[in-house]
Structure 1
């Protein structure tokens, strides 16, 4: 491009404007009507959508945490232990599992979760820990570590 005067050079925004608008139009490609074709309308809608997407990322994390806690709590009630006691017992037994992995074990591998609950309960009993956090006692089956652990499994394998 050859500019004969400084005024024409200043008025030309160059290729940067094309690519800036193209980026907005690509983000608005799935919209309908003028929201897709008119730049001034598209840029408003794209910015609003990006704000919603930013907020949704935080909300998704919170939703997943609450879902994992619900799954773990339900599995704990089956094994007669509270969520607080389970977490405390696993921490004292140096078993470092996060919410997601505990939730996966609770839903997909219930025998493994039962063993973890028994280990946590045994560790709390040996440490003489009293759960003062939860006043109500869960209704479930009492676990003994000896019932859950490997002896029965090993005896089955030998046969």
Structure 2
């Protein structure tokens, strides 16, 4: 990537030592900083998704349900709330979250039908001595 001196020094503003005022060192530092920024933009999405899942799981556990069973029920009932919005409900709207959770529980356990992972656990529990 080709940048002129002014652009490099502008991007290197705030760096420590000669990284902010020596062009050869500043160029290398700026390139590395831009690489870190690119990688971090990808990691940020991953971190937020993990945070949302943790919040949903904690909210579901408060009401005696686990995350995967809740999500299974939502998918079966075709409730198209994304993880970010469900996590916001869990944090800021406990009554709305409980309503969504109860609906999910009803659908997930309707007609004695369990989600695949719960059915497998039940089978393994019955076969153990």
TM-score (structure 1 length as normaliser) = 0.68
Give the corresponding residue for 2:110: 126
State the Cα distance separating 1:33 from its structure 2 match.
Answer: 3.2
RMSD value, Cα: 2.0
* Counterpart-to-counterpart distance in 2, 1:133 and 1:108: 30
State the Cα distance separating 1:127 from its structure 2 match.
Answer: 5.0
**How many matched pairs?**
119
The equivalent position to 1:115 in structure 2, one of 96, 99, 105, is 99
* Counterpart-to-counterpart distance in 1, 2:11 and 2:113: 56
TM-score (structure 2 length as normaliser) = 0.82
* Counterpart-to-counterpart distance in 1, 2:102 and 2:16: 57
The equivalent position to 2:83 in structure 1, one of 68, 79, 99, is 99
State the Cα distance separating 1:53 from its structure 2 match.
Answer: 1.0
* Runs of 5+ consecutive residues of structure 2 not aligned to the other structure: 123-129
Residue 24 of structure 1 pairs with residue 4 of structure 2: no
State the Cα distance separating 1:32 from its structure 2 match.
Answer: 2.9
State the Cα distance separating 1:79 from its structure 2 match.
Answer: 1.3
Residue 57 of structure 1 pairs with residue 41 of structure 2: yes
Contact 2:89 2:96 in 1 (8 A): yes
Residue 36 of structure 1 pairs with residue 36 of structure 2: no
Structure (1/2) with the larger helix percentage: 2
State the Cα distance separating 1:126 from its structure 2 match.
Answer: 2.6
Residue 76 of structure 1 pairs with residue 66 of structure 2: no
User: Which structure is larger by alpha-carbon Rg, 1 or 2?
Assistant: 1
* Counterpart-to-counterpart distance in 1, 2:116 and 2:80: 23
